[in-house]
């Protein structure tokens, strides 16, 4: 096919489903990443502003969703799904049938939860051996911003009894599909908090902040435990901030770890966006898309090595 000559060998070749805020920010960052080649972009509206922005910059652009990608599956290694949790199950069925891996940026709960900085730190966050199609879930922006801090806190507490995650994002950065996903977003974020801390009593809430001018994304976590070593928690959280900043430079403390009362520890992070698509207030795009890119880098390179050994 005509576009095959554009593909650069040695790169991880990908397609993107979705031309909303998340999908276009993701596409912009992949286009400047030397490890990736964006082969195709699939939207549903020919007049989508995000899609129009990328005309002549991507070999294949289709406006009938994943159906339009069917003739092109041989030309990419994996798919990013930046649509909605309601559409993701069908997208995964098709992608799996074609033997490709998928990075799920919706809170569908279908894929295996993955937070790149927690690979091999949390038991379930590892890659499966071999080259079978794999679906990795990015959970939510709140999941990606809270999980590093929750994991760090677990290193300085004993007998956790309750966990709470509160996420505030600027309303202007949240598109229609993400708004339809809110209930799934909260459920997925809660489940990740329980998984990371080992505490089944986990609660999450999402605030779409209407402030104008928009304020930065902030994520506050509270952990109730019998024994709290605040010094150990401060060290572990600082180390995790440094780790996350390798892929998300705008991730930092808004409020450092402290104990609002006996038996309770809290920390608040904030994310300043890199401005690939929306202005820097959209840190929620940065945190989930950076996680998606790093997860795809790990997964794509793993599959390339595994195929070379077969």
User: Which stretches of the chain are DSSP H helices?
Assistant: 21-31, 49-53, 88-97, 141-154, 176-180, 182-197, 230-245, 283-308
pLDDT for 196-222, tens place per residue?
Answer: 999 999 999 999 999 999 999 999 999
pTM over 0.75: yes
pLDDT at 27: 98
Q: Are residues 150 and 266 in the same domain?
A: yes
Q: Are residues 217 and 274 in the same domain?
A: yes
Catalytic residue among 141, 199, 237, 259: 141
Q: Are residues 276 and 200 in the same domain?
A: yes
Residues in CB range of 71: below 8 A, 6 or more apart: none
- Whether residue 146 is contained in a domain is answered as yes
Q: Are residues 168 and 239 in the same domain?
A: yes
**Strands 251-261, 264-271: pairing kind:** antiparallel
Residue 54 in 3-state DSSP?
Answer: coil
Residue 231 dihedral angles phi and psi, to the nearest 5°:
-65, -45
Q: Are residues 226 and 254 in the same domain?
A: yes
Q: What is the mean pLDDT of each run of 10 residues along the chain (310 residues)?
A: 51 96 97 97 91 93 96 96 96 97 96 93 75 89 98 97 98 91 96 97 97 94 98 98 96 98 98 96 97 93 72
What CATH code is carried by the domain that includes residue 266?
Answer: 3.30.360.10
pLDDT at 128: 67
What tokens were used for 281?
């207030």
State the Cα–Cα distance between residues 171 and 161, nearest whole angstrom: 32
Rounded to the nearest 10 degrees, the angle between the axes of helix 283-308 and helix 141-154 is 80
pLDDT at 310: 65
Q: Are residues 124 and 167 in the same domain?
A: no
What CATH code is carried by the domain that includes residue 66?
Answer: 3.40.50.720
What tokens were used for 274?
């890199």
pLDDT at 5: 41
Residue pair 12/297 in contact (Cβ under 8 Å)? The answer is yes
pLDDT at 7: 46
Q: Are residues 166 and 275 in the same domain?
A: yes
- Domain region containing 291: 14-139+287-309
Split into its structural domains, the chain has a count of 2
Q: Are residues 125 and 181 in the same domain?
A: no
State the Cα–Cα distance between residues 56 and 53, nearest whole angstrom: 9
pLDDT for 157-166, tens place per residue?
Answer: 999 999 999 9
Q: Are residues 23 and 126 in the same domain?
A: yes
- Whether residue 7 is contained in a domain is answered as no
Q: Are residues 149 and 222 in the same domain?
A: yes
Cα angle 228-230-232, degrees, rounded to a multiple of 5: 100
pLDDT at 129: 63
141 is catalytic: yes
């Amino acid at each position: 096919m005509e576009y095959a000559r554009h593909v650069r060998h040695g790169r991880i070749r990908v397609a993107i489903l979705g031309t909303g805020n998340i999908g276009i920010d993701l596409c912009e960052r992949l286009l400047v990443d030397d490890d990736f080649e964006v082969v195709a972009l699939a939207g549903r509206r020919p007049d989508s502003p995000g899609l129009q922005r990328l005309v002549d910059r991507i070999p294949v652009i289709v406006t009938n969703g994943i159906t339009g990608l069917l003739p092109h599956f041989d030309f990419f290694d994996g798919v990013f799904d930046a649509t909605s949790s309601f559409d993701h199950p069908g997208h995964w069925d098709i992608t799996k049938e074609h033997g490709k891996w998928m990075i799920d940026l919706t809170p569908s709960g279908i894929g295996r939860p993955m937070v790149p900085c927690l690979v091999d730190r949390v038991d379930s966050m590892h890659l499966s051996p071999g080259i079978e199609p794999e679906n990795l879930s990015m959970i939510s922006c709140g999941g990606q911003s809270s999980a590093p801090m929750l994991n760090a806190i677990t290193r300085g507490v004993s007998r956790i009894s309750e966990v709470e995650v509160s996420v505030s994002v600027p309303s202007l950065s949240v598109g229609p599909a993400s708004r339809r996903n809110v209930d799934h977003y909260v459920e997925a974020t809660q489940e990740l908090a329980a998984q990371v801390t080992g505490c089944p009593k986990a609660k999450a809430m999402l605030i779409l902040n209407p402030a104008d001018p928009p304020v930065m994304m902030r994520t506050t976590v509270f952990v109730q435990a019998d024994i709290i070593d605040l010094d150990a928690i401060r060290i572990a959280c600082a180390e995790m901030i440094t780790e996350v900043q390798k892929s998300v430079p705008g991730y930092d403390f808004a409020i450092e770890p402290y104990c609002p009362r006996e038996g309770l520890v809290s920390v608040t992070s904030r994310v300043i966006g890199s401005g690939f698509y929306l202005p820097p207030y959209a840190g929620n795009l940065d945190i989930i898309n950076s996680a998606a890119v790093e997860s795809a880098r790990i997964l794509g390179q793993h599959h390339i090595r595994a195929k070379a050994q077969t």
